[in-house]
Structure 1
Amino acid sequence: MVAVNKHGIVLEKRNLDFEIEGVLNPAVILEDGQIHMYYRAVAKGNRSTIGYCRFDANDPLTVVERYDQPLVDSEYEYESHGVEDPRIVKIDDVYYISYCAYDGTNAFGAVATSTDGKKFSKRGIIVPQVRGDKFREWLHFNGNINLKYYRLNMDNNYVWDKNVIFFPRRIFGQLFFLHRIKPGIQIACANKLSEFNNDFWKDYIQNIEDYIVLDPKFEHELSYIGNGAPPIETDKGWLIIYHGVHDTVSGYMYTACAALLDLENPGKEIARLPYALFKPEEDWELQGYVNNVCFPSGTALINDTLYIYYGAADERIACASVSISELLEELLNNITI
């Protein structure tokens, strides 16, 4: 088992309108000795924006600056009920912040870009916008596909496609990102964002078995899984920290999980922990706006220590840490190829 240090809560909601209901699920990027955090802030009515705060890498648990207004807010109809659960990477000197655009009914992965990390330009929805009946029509039945792809996308509303996370560099000149159509994690790539259009996604869904990276496998992730923090490039492969969900007598439990993907072929799983990296155990993880939730969404690697920032019970932000060398060694003891 990998040793995990839980450092406790690092950010809580304040009595400000835009975050009075909670702060959670942050994007994190480490640059020039500073940890920049872009967090989901929830106002009354479950309407989310993205707030900003900053930590010094010498003390990754203490906030040194925090804005009193949202950094990113809703602008368009497709995100009219909120911008949720951001992740951030920097590719070719451009920041890509991916987030869930929620209109009150539908949830889609969207992206905004910036050259300074403060002023973002919306680039729109980049995942498929397809209703359940059309999604099932495009799916080719294959005995190797988890039947939950059919069962969990049964109604005729739009299929929810969330948890978009970009790889932090181009691979063979292309932009790669992971996304989540329940119950698993899929991968997509193109030369530029505009290529993720309707024709692209129709062909993609018709061949979705070629793009599934991870599906639920172990007990702690049996209900479904989803992306967490952006992939971390190591000499052993792309390390991904994701979330696994399983049903309990008191409802769903969200746990933090880890896997390793091939460096040259990031759609290929190399290894996966057969147990949760960490799970809800503390009061502030067990009780909140949504109980029993550890939702990892951002990391900062400082020397050998990987700090994992996560939403705790959908109400506050906490941090845990592991030795990345120990984690990689444990993963390589659980090869799946």
Structure 2
Amino acid sequence: MIKVNKEGVLLEKTSLAFEDEGVLNPAAIREGEYVHIFYRAVSKGNYSSIGYCKLKGPFTIIERSETPVLLPQFEYESHGIEDPRIVKIDDLYYLSYTAYDGVNALGALAVSKDLKNWEKQGILVPQLTYDEFNYLIEFNNKPNEKYNRYNAHDYIFENRGKKVLLWDKNLIFFPKRIHNKLYFLHRIKPDIQIIVGVENLQELTPEFWQNYFLKFNENIVLSPKYDHEVSYIGGGCPPIETAEGWLLIYHGVKDSIKGYVYSACAALLDLEDPRIELARLPYPLFEPEKIWELKGEVNNVCFPTGTALFDDTLYIYYGAADERIAFVTVSISALLTELLLNPKEK
């Protein structure tokens, strides 16, 4: 098994009003000797915004903002901006997040050229009811029955005056264009799906999504396979380009007598066609063991969302028990070697 070192807690909640209930699920991006962390900050009533801190090296905090750097502005995010991820493509930073309006949770995007001034692009994922989704995927697909269990919302069609939509979260961009196209992951439970290349985001029209769902099975990248991810899986950190393939750190969930347990998992995707799974660890990369992971706002949670690579050491930043931010280290070369020992059966 691969050796993972749990280094401890990086950030805790403070007495500041915007983050006095918890800090978790951070986006991370390395620029030179610094790592920029954009994290979910939770205030009373479970309202989320995005906080910021700057690290020198992988873990020394040298700056932390006392106010949010991104706040809810529009109705689609009125109850919170959650779980950011960040990449840089060409000369533009893409910060994707979950927009929550109190009823619906959907993947949205903000972009920046300087990590300071952000321009929101709105919701990118489809805005469909479950019935509309189910109607489309049943034409040429045999949908997993879990799609109904996790997404039908008990067939409640309206809540608080809002139409109840299919939840589509964990919107995560690949950090470069592939064949000159943008690729991103998204997640409709229980699987991880992929958008197969668009030249620009304006292509994401209702007609695009209709055609996408008609071939839905072709766009599922990973499905639950092992015991630690048997309930459902979802994207974690932005994919990391390596000579062996795209290294994907994602989260897996299993139901237990203690409730859901969230673990960090690892897989390898093909560089040229990321829909192709090359390898996957048959066990969790790391799972809740430490007190900061076992007890918190939500117990038994390791939720990886950001990485920084220094030499051969991969730093993985994660939400611990939905209340604090912790990090682990692992040798990326050793992780790739271990993955290649567990190729997907053809």
TM-score (norm 2): 0.95
Deviation at 1:285, TM superposition (A): 0.3
- Secondary structure of the residue aligned to 1:177 is strand
Structure 1 equivalent of residue 234 of structure 2: 226
Structure-2 separation of matches of 1:75 and 1:19 = 18
- Secondary structure of the residue aligned to 1:95 is strand
Structure 2 residue identity aligned to 1:130: L
Structure 2 equivalent of residue 42 of structure 1: 42
Structure-2 separation of matches of 1:3 and 1:319 = 14
Deviation at 1:146, TM superposition (A): 2.6
Structure 2 equivalent of residue 171 of structure 1: 178
Residues 4-43 of structure 1 aligned to structure 2 (within 5 Å): 4-43=4-43
Structure 2 residue identity aligned to 1:330: E
Deviation at 1:150, TM superposition (A): 3.1
- Secondary structure of the residue aligned to 1:135 is helix
Select between 134-143 and 79-88 the one with higher mean Cα deviation. 134-143
Matching of residue 287 in structure 1 with residue 285 in structure 2:
no
- Secondary structure of the residue aligned to 2:59 is strand
Structure-1 separation of matches of 2:255 and 2:47 = 26
Quickly say closer, same or farther: Cα 1:47–1:68, change in 2 above 3 A: same
Structure-2 separation of matches of 1:230 and 1:183 = 19
Deviation at 1:255, TM superposition (A): 0.2
Structure 2 equivalent of residue 87 of structure 1: 85
Structure 2 equivalent of residue 307 of structure 1: 315
Structure 2 residue identity aligned to 1:122: K
Deviation at 1:144, TM superposition (A): 5.8
Deviation at 1:198, TM superposition (A): 1.1
Structure 2 equivalent of residue 253 of structure 1: 261
Structure 1 equivalent of residue 161 of structure 2: none
Select between 142-151 and 265-274 the one with higher mean Cα deviation. 142-151
- Secondary structure of the residue aligned to 2:271 is coil
Number of equivalences: 335
Matching of residue 56 in structure 1 with residue 56 in structure 2:
yes
Asked whether the 8 Å contact 1:140–1:207 carries over to 2, the reply is no
Quickly say closer, same or farther: Cα 1:143–1:210, change in 2 above 3 A: closer
Deviation at 1:151, TM superposition (A): 2.9
What do the CA deviations read for 1:72-112 (whole angstroms, capped 9, x no partner)? 01010000000000000000110000000000000000001
- Secondary structure of the residue aligned to 2:70 is coil
Residues 56-205 of structure 1 aligned to structure 2 (within 5 Å): 56-57=56-57, 60-140=58-138, 145-154=143-152, 155=155, 156=157, 157-188=164-195, 189-205=197-213
- Secondary structure of the residue aligned to 1:152 is helix
Asked whether the 8 Å contact 2:140–2:215 carries over to 1, the reply is no
- Secondary structure of the residue aligned to 1:320 is strand
Structure-1 separation of matches of 2:269 and 2:237 = 14
Percent of residue pairs bearing the same amino acid type:
60
TM-score (norm 1): 0.98
Asked whether the 8 Å contact 1:126–1:197 carries over to 2, the reply is no
Deviation at 1:141, TM superposition (A): 5.8
